[in-house]
A and B are shown apart, each in its own frame.
Chain A
Amino acid sequence: MERFQKLLEDPHKYAKEWKEKTGGKVMGYFCPYIPEELVYAAGALPVRVLSEPDADGISYRYLYATFCPKSRGVLAQGLNGTYSYLDGISHAQCCEGMSGAYSSWRLHIPHEHEWFVSMPSDLDNPWALTALRSEMSALKKDLEKWTGKTITEEALDHAIEVYNTSRSLMRQVYELRRAANPKVTGAEAFEMVLSSQIMDKEEHNKLLKDAISKLSGREKRDDNGVRLMMLGSDCDFGDATLTRLIESMGATIVIDRLCNGSNYFWNNVIPQEDRLLAITQRYWDKPRCAVKDETFRRRVVDVIGLAIDYNVQGVIYNVHRFCTPNHADRPPIIEALKKRFIHFHDLEHDGTFPMGDLQSRIETFIDVIRK
């Protein structure tokens, strides 16, 4: 399991080596509503732009203080050259924070290719689905022009298969966490998901299969502590620090509904004749994040369902400061948790994790659950 953590220690190493080895193009993306299968089918490597706290404040010149730490961290990574190996950059319409970061990124950090997916927010609307399907066609043409490669049906089928395999394997890992004594910790699972977002999934799938086969022989832990769920804004700043910290205090995070966690892989592409429609449908049907759950609320039901399935005792609702959509969803989710007597605690952070403060809160929260 340590190899996934190791991959994240230098999250750029793989992509750089891949580029050198294959001569291929690397496309960074901000939001997982980007149809990665299309990019992959074009022969490019999609990698997620991970955020790190903007300690130097380099992003403040371009983004005012009320942008969330994640958007700020992403832009800072671009400005300081960390992602200079990217050939292209892409984003899908989501929250204003990330859209702001993208708009400044594309202005100040030129790439040979950029693409913005007009991802609708009314995901109950059939015309919006049609519009998204047309976006896929436009993106396909654009990718072909950029890479000089025709995206064939075979290439699409292959990409769909690779991605579906990745998702199915991650679902297997997450299924193991339903057990009373899960053999994989939340931090480990999170590292597996996160590392899949920075490398070729075909290779990552091999690592996953190997890790899963070894998990069955793993010894059970004596005390898994209380069973927790993570919700809210992305909690990565490139690694599983927060998850690990929480788990060190007498808990196991058994499930999450995070953008860069379970949301990322939860559902597969269901193959159909119109491959682009199949891919469109997959992203359409993905568990909704806060910013895309704007009409008939599905997220609450989804979260409660997961909490029941995974026998969750408590939920940590972790929100970045200035994360609009997650702040908006917090009260209705909390109301639903209350009705089911599931404990919860809301955390807010600005990209830094003051240990003393966090420890006090989490320990007390765990104590309350235990009682």
Chain B
Amino acid sequence: MPALVIGTAYDIMSKIAPPRAAFVDHPVGRTFGPPHDSSRHHAVLSRALAELPRFSYSGEIRDIGCQWSPGGGREWEAELRAEMLHDR
């Protein structure tokens, strides 16, 4: 059965090599966007689904161009790192 992974962890998806993976550049646990932002959730899922016919080989990861911060800032990484290191 055709399967598509929609994920935030590029390094893990690279190792696992699922048949098709859509990379969303968001923090883990916020794959489709901030809470209660349904237009953003719609946009992320629609972009991921639109990639389906474009995959051409198993293990391909396609960046669907979704950034967490509107300007592409990476400030969220420090917060996520602290959150995850606290999670032991």
Determine if chain A interacts with chain B: no
Query: Which residues of chain A have a CB within 8 Å of any CB of chain B?
Result: none
Query: Which residues of chain B have a CB within 8 Å of any CB of chain A?
Result: none
